Amino acid sequence: MQRPIPCLFMRGGTSRGPFFDAADLPADIATRDRVLLAVMGSPDRRQIDGLGGAHPLTSKVGIVSRSKAAGVDLEFLFAQLQPDKDTVDTTPNCGNMLAAVVPFALERGLARARDGTTTLRVLTLNTDMQCDVTVQTPGGMVEYAGDARIDGVPGTSAPITINFLDTAGSVAPGLLPTGKVLDVIDGVEVTCIDNGMPLVLLRAADMERSGYETVAELNADAELKARIESLRIEAGRLMKLGDVTSKNYPKMTLIAAPRTGGALCTRSFIPHVCHDAIGVLAAVTVATACVLDGSVARGIAVMPPGLVKTVSVEHPTGEFSVELGLDPANPQNVTRAALLRTARLIMRGEVMVPDAVWPRGAQAA
């Protein structure tokens, strides 16, 4: 016997996964996590018995609910699963999956669409961060077709604008959790920063790599990955994140001079696999490092002038543009970060979980 759970299967940015109304899942966290593992088919490298796509970017879950907080419309809990592990990590955020939150809420009736565009304020429970998400809703219906293109996703879709309101210190204690813009770990200069995602930037040249390697080349580079993991564990301690051995953060990002007209070239590890592109909040954090005097990006990044900067972050499959607003009184202070994403509803229905995981008689949240 199996228990059906309503869900929408959605793409958000360059990620995808099932989205749930929090009211349809167990209130008990341990039971909820068992349900999510069963839904995705983890732990199994192929995730053959679930909805997972055998990759960290397609082993993600979104949980959405109406908010009772003043001025907030929706609450979003992101869950990162791994194909071959039995972990459910709700500590970091995911800006890609965030792009699908408002479309999901409108599809499920958790909020009402306006004619033209609909902007809702979303609180990400993982990091206690708020953002305004704007989607196209002509005639009060979510529009998925459009001319917006993002690298890493084929074709074009309707644009979704995400305006982050407060990203500094999303998980770590502050924008620069070590108290420095530049640290040295095992002889390697790094910038440890969190402006939406705990991140460690390091020059590819300092790792005796070009920074222009393909994803396949980097994933096959066992020596490099072992060195990066050693640096990551020590950086986690310096960033006051504790023992990060089993955590999905901080992300590790190799940087090099831009090659295709952007501001900076990146190769981002998430954290043990090289990202085919770069995460939304990782891109925001990388862009922020580019405006800080003394960071590892200075002297490498090519930045546009002005207090409103469109920072093009190059990655293996294209580029990701982030718009930063800087404080006129202190141009080192980023006051606003906005970006463009797309999303699409792929499937609606019910996902089945074994009765042994969550008995049909047990109550939802």
- Interval 13-45: pLDDT, tens: 999 999 999 999 999 999 999 999 999 999 999
Is-contact 365 21, C-beta < 8 A?
A: no
Widest distance between CA atoms in the chain: 63
What is the pLDDT averaged over residues 185-208? 97
Is-contact 362 354, C-beta < 8 A?
A: no
Which DSSP state fits 299? Answer: T
DSSP helix/strand/coil, 227: helix
> Tokens 């990002």 correspond to what residue?
253
Spatial distance between the Cα atoms of 35 and 28, rounded to a whole number of angstroms? 11
Bridge partners of 183? 190
Whether residue 165 is predicted with pLDDT greater than 90 in this model: the reply is no
Encoded amino acid at 45, one letter: R
Q: Say what the pLDDT of residue 39 is.
A: 98
Q: Say what the pLDDT of residue 336 is.
A: 87
Spatial distance between the Cα atoms of 59 and 40, rounded to a whole number of angstroms? 7
Bridge partners of 348? 8
pLDDT greater at residue 105 or residue 333 = 105
Please provide the average confidence, as pLDDT, over all residues in the chain. Answer: 96
Is-contact 63 20, C-beta < 8 A?
A: yes
What is the pLDDT averaged over residues 69-81? 97
Helix (H) or strand (E) holding 35: helix 29-40
Is-contact 258 198, C-beta < 8 A?
A: no
Q: Say what the pLDDT of residue 239 is.
A: 98
Angle at 31 between CA 362 and CA 96, to 5 degrees: 120
Is-contact 221 227, C-beta < 8 A?
A: no
In this prediction, residue 81 has a pLDDT band, given cuts at 50, 70 and 90, of very high
Whether omega before 43 lies within 30 degrees of 0, making that bond cis, reads yes
Q: Say what the pLDDT of residue 166 is.
A: 78
Spatial distance between the Cα atoms of 314 and 152, rounded to a whole number of angstroms? 12
Reading the block at residue 103, the tokens are 């479309």
In this prediction, residue 363 has a pLDDT band, given cuts at 50, 70 and 90, of confident
List pLDDT tens digits, range 257-307. 999 999 999 999 999 999 999 999 999 999 999 999 999 999 999 999 999
Bridge partners of 235? none
Instruction: Name all domains of the chain by residue range, CATH numbers in brackets.
Output: 2-159+343-354 (3.10.310.10), 183-341 (3.10.310.10)
What is the pLDDT averaged over residues 141-156? 95
Is-contact 39 51, C-beta < 8 A?
A: yes
Whether residue 203 is predicted with pLDDT greater than 90 in this model: the reply is yes
Encoded amino acid at 237, one letter: R
> Tokens 């989205």 correspond to what residue?
19
